[in-house]
Amino acid sequence: MVCGRCFKVMSFTISCTISKGTVNDPTTFPPPSKTHGSYHWAFERLLTAYPVLDGLLGISLVMHSHIGFDAILVDYLHHRKFPTLGPLTTWTLRATTVGVLVGVYQFNTNDIGLTELITKVWIA
């Protein structure tokens, strides 16, 4: 069955959307809801606890990198095969990891922090 405003093309029926009112009528707004208002912003503020998130992100990224590089050193520069170079590279990695942790700490406490940096890079 086809109404006066709808028409049929081949076997498809194309219907017109019938809107109530005119184009000058105001739009209807959805009813207020706490899940779209205050709870939403409180949850976002909780997620943007920058100092805690910066610390966890900084430590986890550095330790992840340290474990990965340590695995490379164990696989390719083992202490038994390279008695001098193996321990030297291992201690160099440890010193570098400590230096990077100090740098990340300084960046998080004296500058904008990792989460703000990621936000700015993402937006740019």
Tens digits of residue pLDDT in 53-70: 889 999 999 999 999 999
**CB-CB contact of 93 with 69 (8 Å):** yes
Name the strand (E) or helix (H) holding 47.
helix 38-47
14: helix, strand or coil: strand
In the numeric block, which tokens belong to residue 61? 């990224």
Structural tokens at position 26:
């105001």
Residue positions forming the annotated binding site: 64, 76
Question: Which amino acid type is present at position 13?
Answer: T
* Residue list for the binding site for heme b: 64
Annotated binding site for a ubiquinone: 76
Question: What's the confidence (pLDDT) of residue 48?
Answer: 65
The residues spanned by each domain of the chain are 51-123
Q: Which CATH class is domain 51-123?
A: mainly alpha
* Rg from Cα positions in the chain: 30
* CA atoms within 13 Å, Cβ hemisphere of 107: 17
pLDDT over 60 at 45, yes or no: yes
